[in-house]
Structures are given as structure tokens and as C-alpha cells.
Amino acid sequence: MDIKKVYMGRSVEEVVRLLGEYENKAKVIAGGTDIVIALRNKVIEPELLIDISKVEELKGIKEDEEYITIGSITTFTEIVESEIFQSNLYGLHKACKMVGSPQIRNKGTIGGNIANGSPAADSVPPLMALDSIVTLLSIEGTREISLEDYYYDSIKENELLVNVKFKKPKDNQVLTFAKLGLRKALAISRLTLSSFIEFDDNIITSIRVASGALAKFPMREKEVEDYLLGKSLNEETIEGAIEALRNSMDERLKGRPTLPYKRIAISTILREILEEALVFEKGVKAW
Amino acid sequence: MKKRGIGIGVSFYGTGYGNGFPDISRAKARLLPGGRIGIYCGVTEVGQGAKTAMIQIGAEILGLTEKDIDLIHEDTSLMPDSGTAAATRQTYNTGNAIKIACENLRSKLFEKAKVELGLNSTAGLVLDSGEVVLSIFPQKRISFKSLSEIYKDEIIEAEGEFVAQTTTMDPETGQGAPYWPYTFNACAVEVEVDTNTGIVNLLRATFAQDAGRAVNPHLLEGQMDGGFAMALGYALFEDLKLEKGVIKNNRFSKYLIPTAMDMIDVEKIIIEDPEMTAPYGAKGIGEPVIIPIAPAILNAIYNAIGIRITELPVTPENLMKAIREAGVNK
């Protein structure tokens, strides 16, 4: 079926109304870096496209007392260029900078990265490590869901992903990220990891670790979190964390042809995120 | 663990069809209205820079700049056959044919100038910036433009043909000298191998290429960079993943070629040792620039981790498999 109409959405209210009206006949397009490929390959065949790339309310990064909120059509480039992600939130900057190529980063959006649902979405593990909340809007109302739970109850046909938000980090908290791609640009992630760690006098007092491309969708790595909580980072605990992650991968990816490679390669990536956190903790800028 | 290693690859490559096979290039050069020169030959531009190099060779003989020459090519109804743009043969073979055609045209222009200038002989005539000049009495001169106006009803043109000299190998013993000329090169690379991810990172490279004579050094360096990048893809990235005759990596998100981010600045050295049978000594380098790169990379991997790779490409997963099989990584 060919696309019959393209609406250029002007407001969230209008887009939500159109989605309510057309439901499964409509698809939302923002940067188009994923959906255009899906359309060409006829993976999806909507009658109607709703272009949200000009909806001002969905743009930009906002900060208040408690939260940092990223509008869904904020591009990877805008995140990379934002001052907010230069210090202890550097992990998100790094993840967005490793997406595709400059052209893709200029068009691709953070909301699209989440809504597309790829297990290899680069921006999702850091957002999940930040315990982000996704806001979805439909004619039925507003739905807020944690990014961790989102993949079990993802976007519905009548919903618009409005923003993703997370609590502002404290000075003793740091977000890190590492990616294994098979070349230096335009590489789909083979595996990604992100950690959000709170240190108190060398000791990890709070930790969230999220992975990409290690399951059907990005997910929290609770075994690693449990292992590292209450410990300090050193050679022994880093090795222990690698072992913990390998154990849970062995169980989860049993029989997968990619497992023998990924279970070895994971050590470089996990080491990278933990060592970056350690450098931060020691007060030296890793970047 | 990250380990570094250095490797060297060298090659020599016989250019042209070789082995006694007829290898002929033909070209024509013609005086055009306005005193321009047309070079007609079947050279095909495939990105290698033939269009520029062929004009340069003609310009050199006719004492012109590249701007004064029109290259008429890639239309078989307008030009003689110059053979294929293959076998690294165009600069040498068609370059020679153009050189001969332009030398023949030069003789014809001298004959016409002799008549127009009222001279006894063509001896001492030279070409300078679009004019035929008598070197012992430079006031005696006539421009190509004037000649083209005087002889506007006559076609002033000349042909050139170059037949490469190659001999057949002895079919019994395989002995002989099947190619002429040969092109030589050498490449050294330093790599860093991550023994946990299997990623091979190129740190630096030096690449020396013998060209006989570099007709256009910038284009030659471009060829060297291009050959290096292509070989880098062949060595480390490009995998069709053929399964029962079906190409599994059938899109560029899976069939990876190096990006600008994967390519490094290669230190390039041009060696000029003129080949006596070549136009101004210049030999072809098109295919040879790919050859020594993958061996250099594989030798560097061996130097870094002590494992001989015998299958390409060395993708991270393939390298990790080789490491596992070698029992290096526990």
C-alpha cells in the first residue's frame, strides 16, 4: 500500500488527535533515519505519515530543579553539542556521538531511537542507566513509564513519544558508556554498556548498569549491579564484574552463535565503562 | 589486552596482457580549429586519472598546456581502439601510442611550417606554447592557430600505434619472461590488536610505489590512498558471507567497507626509476597499489599476537576465532 497523505504536524495536540483518528493507518516520522528504510523495505506500509519534525514543543533539552527533560525530536547532534552532557553525564554525549555518521546524527532523534525499539539503539543504555522515564501522550491521556519497563509495554499506535526525562545527577554520580562496533563509523553496535554509579569515599553506594545488543532489547544488568554494590573499583572487582556479566550472558544467550565472541569482547567494554567511572571518581577528567 | 606489531608487504606486478598476447594501443592526434589539438584514443576513465595523464603526455610532446588539448575518448565511433582499461596498461601502452601520435603530428606541423615560413628544411624547428619556431632565428615562427586557418580545408592529423613486447612462457616448464614492464612496491604498517574484541586498529603506514616516472604525483598519491583503503576493506572488513550460494551480507549495513574514520594518513613515497620503453619512463600502478597492503597487515597481526591468519577478511569475530583456536586466549 502506498502512502496517501503526509501531515506536517504543527502541535502536539494536533498530532495526538491525528494518531487517535488514524491509529494503525498512521506512522510518525521525525528524522526518518530508521523509518524510511522500513518504508522502502515494506516492513511497514502506512497510509499516512505524520511528520513531527517541526513541532516546537517536542524540541530541545530542558532543566529544572529536579529533572533533565529531553524532547523526543531532539537530535543526536543537539545532545552532542549540549553543555549539559559534558561532565558527569558524558556517557550520553559519548553514546550519541557514536551513532552512525554526522548526517544520521543531524537527522536522527532520541525519541526515534527509543520508539524504533532496536536492541542496538546507542542512546538507550545510558538513558536506562539514568533510570529515565518516558512520557507518551494519546487522546486517552498521558502515560509515564520507566524506560526499563517500556520495552515490555512499548508505544501504542495512538501514542506519541513526547519526551524522556531523568533526575539530575549529584556531583558524586557519573554516567559512562562504551560501544563495540565493527568499524569506526556507521557501525551497528555489536554490544554496548552504560553505567551510572554513585561513589561515597571510594565505595559504590548506588549503581545501575544497562546493556545494548545483549538481548531482544536494551536491559539492566542486575547481576553486575548486585556484585559491584558496596565495593570499590579495582582490578579485582572489575574482573569480578566481568565474570558476573559473563555468567548472566551465558544463561541468556545460550546456544547463540554470537555468544563465544560476545562473552570475550564484553570484558573490553565493561572494563572501559568502569575505568572511566574510576577516573572520574579519582577526580581526573577522563575526557 | 592490546598488542602492537609491525608488518611489511612487498610486491612486483607484470603490467599489460603479457605472455605473448597481442597488446596494442592506438591513438590519433589532430590539429583542430583555433589551433587546439585533439587527442583521440579509447582510454576509459574509471577514476584512475587517465583523462588527466593522457592529456599531460600529449601536452608535453606538443609544447602545450593541458588546457590546449581536447581528449576525445569513451566513444568508439570517434576513436581508434586503445585496448582495455585493465591490466594496469593505459599509462604505459596508450601513453606510448599518444606519444607516437603526437610525435607524428609534430612532424606534420613542421612540414607545413616549413612551407609557410619558406624554409629549406624542418631541421631546427621546435614547438613552443602553440607555435612552431625556428630555434636559430626565432622571428621565424607560425602559430598552430594560423596553420589551422591556412589549412582549414585539410585534415592535419597523425596516428600512433604501440605494440607491447611480450613473450610466451614455455608451456612445459613455465619459464620465460612473460611481462614487461614490472611495477614494484612495498608497504609497512603498524597495528594494534585487541585480543579481547579482535579489533585490529591501524596506527601508521608507509607505502612506497615505483612508477617509473610519476606523470601526475598528486593523482599517483590518490591512487595509493585508494588502493590502500580498498585493500584495508579486503583485509579487515569486507565479507560477503556466502552460505550455500546465497550472499548473506547483501547490504552495506552488513557488508562493511572502511569509512573515512577507518582510513589513516598513509606516508607515501614515490620511487621514480624510468622504464626505457615507457612514455617518459612512466609505468602503470593501478592494480599494484592494492597488492602489498593485506600481506603487510597480516604480517603485523602475526608480529603482534603470533598467529598466522590464512583467511580473509580478518573481521573481529574471525580473529577471535583464530585466537581461540590457537589457544592463546584462555
Q: Where do the domains of chain A lie, and which CATH numbers do they carry? A: 5-51 (3.30.43), 61-167 (3.30.465.10), 173-281 (3.30.390.50)
**Which are the contacts of B114, defined by CB distance < 8 A and separation ≥ 6?**
B120, B121, B122, B125
Q: Does A38 touch chain B (CB under 8 A)?
A: no
Q: B92 and B199 in one domain? A: no
**Facing residue for A185 by CB, picked from B237, B259, B329:** B259
Checking if the pLDDT of A285 tops 70, the result is no
Q: Average of pLDDT values for A183-210?
A: 95
Residues 6+ apart with CB under 8 A from A283: none
Say yes or no: B113 and B246 in one domain: no
| Residue B82 and residue B202 in one domain | no
Most B-contacting residue of A33, A182, A193, A262 (CB-CB within 10 A), to test interface: A182
Which structural domain range is residue B145 located in? 24-163
Looking at the structure, tell me whether residues B315 and B232 fall in a common domain.
yes
Q: Are residues B114 and B200 in the same domain?
A: no
Phi and psi torsions of B178, nearest 5°: -75, -20
Burial class (CB in 10 A: 0-12, 13-18, 19+), B299: buried
Given B129, B163, B197, the domain boundary residue is B163
User: pLDDT 10s digit of each residue in chain B, 330 long?
Assistant: 899 999 999 999 999 999 999 999 999 999 999 999 999 999 999 999 999 999 999 999 999 999 999 999 999 999 999 999 999 999 999 999 999 999 999 999 999 999 999 999 999 999 999 999 999 999 999 999 999 999 999 999 999 999 999 999 999 999 999 999 999 999 999 999 999 999 999 999 999 999 999 999 999 999 999 999 999 999 999 999 999 999 999 999 899 999 999 999 999 999 999 999 999 999 999 999 999 999 999 999 999 999 999 999 999 999 999 999 998 544
Give the count of alpha carbons within 13 A of B102, CB side only.
Answer: 28
Q: What are the residue numbers of the active site of B?
A: 287
Inter-chain contact B258–A268, Cβ cutoff 8 Å? no
CATH code for the domain of B158: 3.30.365.10
Query: Same domain, yes or no, for B197 and B312?
Result: yes
Distance between B314 CA and the closest CA of chain A, angstroms: 11
Question: In a mutagenesis test of the A interface, which of B196, B254, B325 is the best target, namely the one with the most A β-carbons within 10 Å?
Answer: B196
Q: To which H or E segment does residue A222 belong?
A: helix A222-228
Residue A169 pLDDT > 90? yes
d(CA B2, CA A263): 17
Q: Are residues B94 and B189 in the same domain?
A: no
* Residue B173, in any domain of the structure: no
Percentage of chain A modeled with pLDDT above 90: 96
Using CB atoms, which residue from B197, B261, B324 is nearest to A268? B197
pLDDT for position A210:
98
Q: Is B281 a domain residue?
A: yes
Structure confidence at residue A286 as a pLDDT band (50, 70, 90): very low
Q: Do A185 and B260 touch (CB under 8 A)?
A: yes
Predicted pLDDT of residue A222: 98
Statement to judge: residues B273 and B308 lie in one domain = yes
Chain A residue nearest residue B322, CA to CA = A261
CA distance B80 to B4: 53
| Closest to B99 (Cα-Cα) out of B169, B183, B154, B27 | B27
Nearest CB among A101, A182, A267 relative to B316 is that of A182
Q: Strand (E) positions, chain B?
A: 2-14, 24-31, 37-41, 69-72, 125-128, 131-134, 141-143, 157-163, 182-194, 200-210, 242-243, 246-247, 266-271
Same domain for B273 and B198: yes
pLDDT of residue A283: 79
3-state DSSP call for residue A150? helix
Does a structural domain hold residue B190? yes
Where among B115, B134, B163 does a domain terminate? B163
Whether A188 and chain B come into contact, CB under 8 Å, resolves to: yes
Last residue of a domain, one of B135, B163, B191: B163
In a shared domain, residues B139 and B191: no
Q: What is the distance between the alpha carbons of residues A163 and A110, in angstroms, rounded to a whole number?
A: 9
Q: Are residues B268 and B307 in the same domain?
A: yes
pLDDT band at A1 (very low <50, low <70, confident <90, very high): low
> How does residue A2 score in pLDDT terms, banded at 50, 70 and 90?
confident
CA distance A188 to chain B (A): 7
Asked if the Cβ–Cβ distance from B198 to A261 is below 8 Å, we say yes
**Cα distances (Å, whole numbers) of residue B24 to A177, B81, B89, B142, B166:** 60, 8, 10, 35, 11
Give domain status of residue B79, yes or no: yes
Give a yes or no: residue B169 inside a domain.
Answer: no
Structurally, chain B folds into a number of domains equal to: 2
Q: Closest by alpha carbon to A135, among A113, A152, A150?
A: A150
